[in-house]
Structure 1
């Protein structure tokens, strides 16, 4: 994630800002330029200071304070590049559900920031009724014992609204023995399944992927039962980024995809702040890193890992000094780095080819 600057006064802006804290200008994200812009009223539209005064509309979800993005030129349905992929949203007349949906939208927009930066293909449901990417944000039915489950099915990603409850999310994290569970992590994991379909299965990379992650044709239902009955193998950290990744090659791919997004986006934020790790006691340089490059344009995964490991060692230590859990409580073994390298290759191939597909979708 980048830092941004207000075109009206030069103040620093953050991705979720709705207004500049110094000059009071309203600000919004302009996805095609990947930047935040100060905006000024222009009739029913807004004049964009970052784009030579061109006028654009705010996303319709700005009405609910759930989006701070601008729509594309000529966009007919009034939704931005991120919100056009929404399917079902919660009951917005319910203050608790509205607040939860806003939290989901924060995570979803951060996800789309990364997908747009890599120019990954994004087909909405309106353009591809069978496999287009669409998000349903569902609340549990109070009259039913059945709970909404977060998951993916042929481009349909369901996110349980209950995950926005910090207490409930922590309970599930402990119940499942997870060291990390966040809304953004859910989005990144589930969209990994979607891009397995798009970039691997339909992109001619199936055999290459199987050579790295294993045979995805093995029965998923049986693998799920086995995982919850037996757990992960004792040596799982030698080959997998998480215990859940051991369940099935599909989950291994999605977990690795999510971690790749974690690494790249966090390193970009560190680079924007000019972070450097130089421990005084590190005579061999193993814990030293200067994060001065754009991780979205890294040529190889080694450049990312060589910066990531010292950075997370430092941040984990800082968190412990505050009595908090590690920022990144995972081990990147050589086998996991190899899997991250496969993901890196997939994303880089698309980015280099410039295959970006915007599509109008449902609100």
Structure 2
């Protein structure tokens, strides 16, 4: 992600900060200008010189300490673009739910940031019921008995997330039960939005769909039967040679969503490396080049080869750093030649968008 600064004192701040710890000014983020600006704490709305002197106030969800995005007063909206996508939120009178919701919003806002950087359409279902998307954040205990088996997932532009996923203990337990190597809130969002964008970018475009089927397989095979087979019999044999994860081997739709989420992972870490100006010159000579020169904005880079030649050694370096801290690999995946072809398909699709 981009590095941000307080515009009052130039202190480095992170994407979610709503106050500068150095000078005490409030901070607000503009998704339209991709800027964080400092704000006078004595006011409730501001004329912001850095944002073309337009008048802004905080998104309504700032009152719950779950959002620091700004809203253009002239547009008459209560919620920022990211929060306008919410259809259902948990009962926030319960402190535990409020804490979980904050974790969820942090991940979701980062997702929306990334979709905007890709110049993908971000439209709420409240605006466009057919082509828009929205989020339902649900607690199982609040659901009627008939809906108790609901899971995190996507259907017709509605992305459902069980708020229990915001509890790191619960998430770790599920990760072990499912024999997964990686499970995060941001990962969930990237995966599920992948299903939505398959419908927008692939499904109704014959040439693109034909290319998709050539690379990922025929998605018209029974999805339900494929998932039942996966859960009953496990992943395909030698799945590591053709898929980014076990789950990706279950069905072409899941292969797409898993690969899509990994392309978003890769792009985000590359943007962070670019903003830090990361370069390395390893002290060994290796068969594969381990040098990093993150000198480009990955959202603007058209060369897939350049993305991979920088991204793979960057991920290796990040894994090595994690091990130095006694942690598991940050990115515990192998990118095979088959997976590279799938990532390249997504790369080209996004660059032509």
The residue that corresponds to 2:34 in the other structure is 34
The Cα shift of 1:283 comes to 5.6
The residue that corresponds to 2:262 in the other structure is 259
The residue that corresponds to 1:193 in the other structure is 195
* Larger mean Cα displacement after TM superposition, 130-139 or 246-255: 130-139
What pairs up with 1:218-229 in 2 under 5 angstroms? 218-229=221-232
The Cα shift of 1:44 comes to 4.1
Alpha-carbon distance between aligned partners in 1 of 2:54 and 2:77, rounded to the nearest angstrom? 19
- Alignment check: 8 A CA contact 2:55 2:74 kept: no
- Is 1:202–2:189 an aligned residue pair? no
What pairs up with 1:295-334 in 2 under 5 angstroms? 295-334=298-337
What pairs up with 1:97-108 in 2 under 5 angstroms? 97-108=97-108
The residue that corresponds to 1:356 in the other structure is none
Alpha-carbon distance between aligned partners in 2 of 1:42 and 1:155, rounded to the nearest angstrom? 40
The Cα shift of 1:162 comes to 0.4
The residue that corresponds to 1:290 in the other structure is 293
Q: What does the per-residue CA deviation read over 1:150-186, in whole Å, with 9 as the maximum and x for residues that have no partner?
A: 0000100000100011111001101111100000000
Alpha-carbon distance between aligned partners in 1 of 2:304 and 2:188, rounded to the nearest angstrom? 23
The residue that corresponds to 1:166 in the other structure is 168
The Cα shift of 1:300 comes to 2.2
Q: What does the per-residue CA deviation read over 1:263-295, in whole Å, with 9 as the maximum and x for residues that have no partner?
A: 001111112122223210126661111111111
Alpha-carbon distance between aligned partners in 1 of 2:66 and 2:150, rounded to the nearest angstrom? 22
The residue that corresponds to 2:148 in the other structure is 146
- Is 1:245–2:248 an aligned residue pair? yes
Alpha-carbon distance between aligned partners in 2 of 1:283 and 1:188, rounded to the nearest angstrom? 33
Q: CA RMSD in A?
A: 1.7
Q: Secondary structure at the match of 2:140?
A: coil
Q: Where does structure 2 lack aligned partners over 5 or more consecutive residues?
A: none
* Larger mean Cα displacement after TM superposition, 112-121 or 229-238: 229-238
* Larger mean Cα displacement after TM superposition, 11-20 or 281-290: 281-290
Q: What does the per-residue CA deviation read over 1:89-140, in whole Å, with 9 as the maximum and x for residues that have no partner?
A: 0001010001100100000000000001111012211222244200000011
Alpha-carbon distance between aligned partners in 1 of 2:243 and 2:233, rounded to the nearest angstrom? 16
Q: Where does structure 1 lack aligned partners over 5 or more consecutive residues?
A: 351-363
Report the TM-score, using the length of structure 2 for normalisation: 0.95
- Alignment check: 8 A CA contact 1:39 1:49 kept: no
The Cα shift of 1:83 comes to 0.7
- Is 1:157–2:159 an aligned residue pair? yes
Aligned pairs, number: 350
Alpha-carbon distance between aligned partners in 2 of 1:263 and 1:147, rounded to the nearest angstrom? 33
Q: Point out which structure has higher relative CO (alpha carbons under 8 A, 6+ apart).
A: 1
Alpha-carbon distance between aligned partners in 1 of 2:253 and 2:294, rounded to the nearest angstrom? 32
The residue that corresponds to 1:117 in the other structure is 117
